[in-house]
Amino acid sequence: GTSAAILRSVQAGITLRPLTYLLGKDKEWQGVFNRRARQENREEYSITIAWREEEGRVTATRGWHLRAGDPEGYLHVTPEFPTDLSPEGRPITDLDVAEEFLERRLPKSVVPFFFYDGEHVQALAEANRAGQMRQIEKLLDIAAIETLTEYLQKVIAAWRRDGQAAEAQAEVEALRASVQQKNAEYARYEAERDDFIADIENLKREIRRNERQVDAIRAQSKQRDLPKLKERAAELSKSLEAACHTLAESLPLGAPLWANPQLVAQVGTALSEATGNANHLLAEEMQDILQRLPDRLLDEAPHAKPPLSDSQKEHYRKKLQNIFSQYIDTPGSGF
């Protein structure tokens, strides 16, 4: 509907209908649609902006389909990267989801005139500010973000000069609401983080419990198989012994010598050295026995009963020495 403020802002005798805010009325009221597009009888009107973020490019379009004079609005946002609102990076066509996507990046409190619907247009008309229609027309014809920034700076300066305390307070309230929303999201994220940590700890405890069960099962399995393993080891040992015996019986007596030619060569060398001076080697062995035998015979346990006297021990030592000296000093004695 209309209001007294709107009626005062237009020529006398003209009454605005709801569609007038979007379509305009002749030359007195231009509406929000592009005039050139209307003159060309187009059925779709839209405003598109694009910007680049760290993840990629984003394109946002707000438009209206005009069929039989009845506009049907839409808002499409197309990010070139996946987000929580569009996990697969597809175009966002749902109006509420698209509005939320834009609100995170272009809050209405910062750019209140760039993307708006019919209610925003009505609010602008009812405000009855000087030059408001010119500002809207200029906004619809902008070609770069820099122009939008300059325009917003001028509008903000005009608001401050006009002392729009109510709108400033509304903006403050909007910011406060945004802060509360962010705090609620932060609290929700913290709760989710705590839940994730608790889940991780539960999984760790479950893993440790499963590992203990696996160790217990392995121990039981080994204990259960131990008698069978011992029996099998005994059978294998008997089989090996029988195989070795069979092999030894089947081989000729000289087989070990044929299998170890290096050992045979070493033994031959040692025999050659021994036979070259047999009496000398035998004399050394006999001399060594003569030095150790008297002490072990007379002094080590068990002792004779009754015990031998020192003179008797000395007698036996001399007797042993005389006996062994015959074999040590006599060459070719047969040893």
CA-to-CA distance for 317 and 312, rounded, in angstroms? 9
Task: Encode pLDDT of 166-225 as tens digits.
Answer: 666 778 888 888 888 888 888 888 888 888 888 888 888 888 888 888 888 888 777 777
| pLDDT attached to residue 58 | 92
Flag whether pLDDT at 2 surpasses 50. Answer: no
Compute the average pLDDT of residues 62-68.
77
For 303, the token pair is 């002792």
| pLDDT attached to residue 57 | 92
Flag whether pLDDT at 1 surpasses 50. Answer: no
Mean pLDDT is lowest, of 88-92, 149-153, 165-169, for 165-169
Q: What are the domain boundaries of the chain?
A: 4-163, 278-335
Contact call for residues 79 and 89 (beta carbons, < 8 A): yes
Whole-angstrom Cα Rg for the chain = 57
CA-to-CA distance for 223 and 200, rounded, in angstroms? 35
Confidence of residue 108 (pLDDT cuts 50, 70, 90): low
CA-to-CA distance for 43 and 69, rounded, in angstroms? 9
Contact call for residues 277 and 285 (beta carbons, < 8 A): no
**Between 302 and 117, whose confidence is greater?**
302
Q: Angle CA(130)–CA(63)–CA(154) in degrees, nearest 5?
A: 30
| pLDDT attached to residue 254 | 58
Compute the average pLDDT of residues 229-241.
84
Confidence of residue 335 (pLDDT cuts 50, 70, 90): very low
Q: Is the pTM above the cut of 0.75? A: no
Mean pLDDT is lowest, of 107-121, 145-159, 290-304, for 107-121
The residue assigned the tokens 């092999």 is: 247
CA-to-CA distance for 145 and 153, rounded, in angstroms? 12
Flag whether pLDDT at 30 surpasses 70. Answer: no
DSSP summary character for residue 110 = T
CA-to-CA distance for 100 and 284, rounded, in angstroms? 111
For the four alpha carbons of 137, 143, 148 and 150, in that order, the dihedral sign comes to negative
